[in-house]
């Protein structure tokens, strides 16, 4: 089985084998990615390539030859190709697993320093231009069945049998996850990781595995017998009764970086899992015909959303200024793939270390510091889906009490082209009342005209009076408008140095109330958890308090779309000096 897992690196080779032969041309690098997690994501600075991990280099003219997957011992030169990595003046060469004209795979040597550097591909004496690389201690990528870093993870049970819908995991049982990027080893990375050359359990690397919102017991994290290939052995925790399904989300964090998010089948007992129910709170009014289309693996969905943001910020003259931004966005999507049912189920990302809205009338508090920082959230694009934006015409129209708004189509330069509709209406445009939303039709969506009613936006009524707040007194927040059927969130955050002036402590709270309440008092017991504002010379660094409200989801009829909804949100914030 382990041999099959290693060979999964070559799944994508079949179509690459027929790429154009690049003879005597200068190699060019376009991407450097973790072999399994396919991270870091484009334009993302959240993670890098870990020491000792298997990574791939994509580009053109990278090799004049095509090889299969190499067995250990690995060489740093294969068919005249080398991958040269330079960080902080130290140069290393990657042991290579395979070479293709458009893709190379190798191991980032564990003795490569952590930090920013460059990668150069040498193809029989011809060198590419350097491409930047960020080398980190840990950045695990999880192997998935589709080989594309999404969907179901490639996981074995304690009998070394792959998990499946008819071989689901159970609480208390043991599982093996595979991937690469746990961290460095001091052993020889060109030969088998066995015997005296085995790295053992890398307990120096903090690894957490969360399954269905519950933390699993990690029993082993380290190399398999294959260079660069890691495994993580865990014991499955007991989940909440409603969390068992064929698509339980798994979050793996090595060091300070999340892996790609995956899913596995877990049953409370027995070997057969069940599919999660459709999330009716996000997708109300779904008919049985709608559900049948979703379960078939294809659906067309879309949304029209209004976003209103108002922030009080310090001005250059020493006072404050109010910055208000509004946006109207529309998108039409075609979704297909095996994970469509999970997109509509939308399992909660329970492992992300952020504030979770408490029940109405209550608050929750979270504290972090520079010695125990927030971890960047894992990527949200974990579904095994093919997503295509649809063209509904050159411009859409929205008529309402505030006038008529044109929402033009904006096309990206991506291939295939992405179509989105964006505009910035005046703040007064969104009012309570009836609206007509229409479009002329385009290649993918027919002409349409539909109506809906919107509630007035939420407005914070006493924001200007909260310049200074005594923590021991609590604070009253009041508002008007909003959707009486929905809730509002009151959040606050502030940072301060600890008594040694060496650690920055950050405390945040969130309280939840019904929008129909018109107000909420943040109790002193919560507000006092925030550190007081500190003086920085003549400047007092304030905390921030915000009020966030959303509307209910309104389903509207757009011909040709299986599900189209309208929603709005309002966020207002202000700096507050905390005494």
At 288 the pLDDT is 75
CATH code assigned to 1-276: 2.60.40.10
Of 192, 180, 287, nearest to 557 by C-alpha is 287
The answer to pTM > 0.85 is no
CA pair distance 279, 408, nearest whole angstrom: 31
Domain boundaries, the chain: 1-276, 288-337+385-578
At 3 the pLDDT is 47
Of 382, 395, 480, nearest to 437 by C-alpha is 395
- Are the CB atoms for 494 and 518 separated by under 8 Å? no
Please state whether the peptide bond connecting residue 47 to the residue before it is cis, i.e. omega within 30 degrees of 0.
no
In what helix (H) or strand (E) does residue 175 lie, and over which residues does it extend? strand 174-180
Of 266, 264, 224, nearest to 241 by C-alpha is 266
- Are the CB atoms for 525 and 513 separated by under 8 Å? no
Phi, psi values for residue 4, rounded to 5°: -65, -35
At 4 the pLDDT is 45
Residues of the chain with pLDDT under 70: 1-24, 39-47, 279-284, 314-319, 346-357, 368-383, 413-417, 497-503, 535-541
3-state secondary structure of 296: helix
């Amino acid at each position: 089985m382990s041999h099959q897992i290693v060979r999964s690196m070559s799944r994508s080779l079949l179509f690459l084998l027929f790429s154009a032969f690049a003879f005597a041309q200068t190699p060019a690098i376009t991407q450097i990615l973790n072999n399994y997690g396919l991270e870091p994501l484009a334009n993302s600075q959240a993670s890098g390539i870990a020491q000792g991990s298997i990574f791939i280099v994509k580009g053109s003219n990278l090799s004049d030859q095509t090889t299969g997957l190499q067995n250990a011992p690995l060489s740093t030169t294969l068919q005249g190709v080398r991958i040269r990595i330079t960080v902080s003046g130290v140069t290393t060469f990657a042991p290579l697993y395979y070479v293709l004209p458009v893709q190379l795979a190798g191991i980032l040597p564990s003795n490569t320093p952590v930090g920013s550097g460059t990668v150069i591909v040498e193809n029989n004496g011809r060198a590419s231009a350097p491409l930047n690389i960020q080398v980190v201690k840990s950045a695990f990528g999880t192997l998935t069945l589709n080989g594309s870093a999404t969907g179901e993870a490639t996981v074995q049970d304690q009998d070394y049998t792959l998990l499946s819908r008819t071989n689901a995991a159970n609480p208390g049982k043991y599982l093996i996850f595979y991937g690469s990027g746990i961290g460095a080893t001091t052993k020889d990375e060109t030969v088998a990781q066995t015997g005296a050359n085995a790295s053992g359990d890398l307990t120096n690397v903090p690894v957490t595995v969360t399954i269905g919102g519950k933390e699993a017991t990690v029993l082993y994290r380290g190399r398999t017998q294959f260079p660069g290939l890691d495994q993580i052995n865990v014991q499955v925790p007991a989940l909440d009764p409603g969390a068992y399904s064929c698509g339980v989300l798994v979050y793996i964090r090595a060091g300070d970086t999340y892996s790609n998010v995956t899913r596995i089948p877990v049953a409370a007992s027995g070997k057969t899992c069940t599919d999660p129910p459709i999330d009716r709170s996000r997708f109300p009014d779904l008919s049985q015909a709608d559900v049948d289309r979703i379960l078939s693996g294809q659906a067309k969905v879309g949304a029209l959303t209004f976003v209103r943001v108002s922030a009080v910020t310090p001005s250059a003259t020493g006072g404050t200024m109010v910055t208000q931004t509004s946006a109207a966005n529309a998108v039409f999507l075609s979704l297909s793939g095996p994970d469509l049912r999970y997109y509509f189920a939308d399992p909660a990302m329970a492992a992300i270390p952020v504030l979770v809205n408490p029940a109405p009338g209550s608050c929750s508090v979270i504290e972090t510091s520079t010695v125990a920082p927030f971890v960047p959230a894992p990527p949200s694009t974990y579904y095994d889906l093919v997503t295509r934006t649809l063209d509904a015409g050159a411009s859409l129209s929205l008529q309402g009490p505030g006038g008529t708004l044109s929402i033009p189509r904006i096309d990206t330069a991506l291939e295939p082209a992405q179509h989105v509709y964006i505009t910035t209406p005046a703040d007064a445009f969104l009012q309570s009342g009836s609206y007509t939303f229409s479009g002329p039709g385009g290649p993918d969506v027919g002409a349409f005209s539909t109506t809906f009613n919107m509630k007035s936006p939420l407005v914070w009524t006493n924001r200007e009076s909260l310049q200074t707040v005594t923590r021991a007194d609590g604070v009253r927040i009041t508002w008007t408008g909003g959707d009486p059927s929905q809730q509002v969130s009151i959040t606050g955050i502030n940072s301060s140095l600890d008594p040694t002036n060496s650690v920055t402590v950050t405390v945040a709270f969130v309280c939840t109330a019904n929008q129909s309440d018109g107000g909420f008092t943040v109790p002193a017991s919560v507000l006092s958890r925030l550190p007081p504002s500190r003086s920085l010379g003549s400047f007092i660094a304030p905390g921030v308090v915000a009020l966030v409200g959303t509307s209910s989801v309104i389903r509207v009829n757009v011909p040709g779309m299986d599900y189209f909804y309208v929603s709005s949100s309002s966020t207002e914030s202000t700096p507050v000096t905390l005494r």
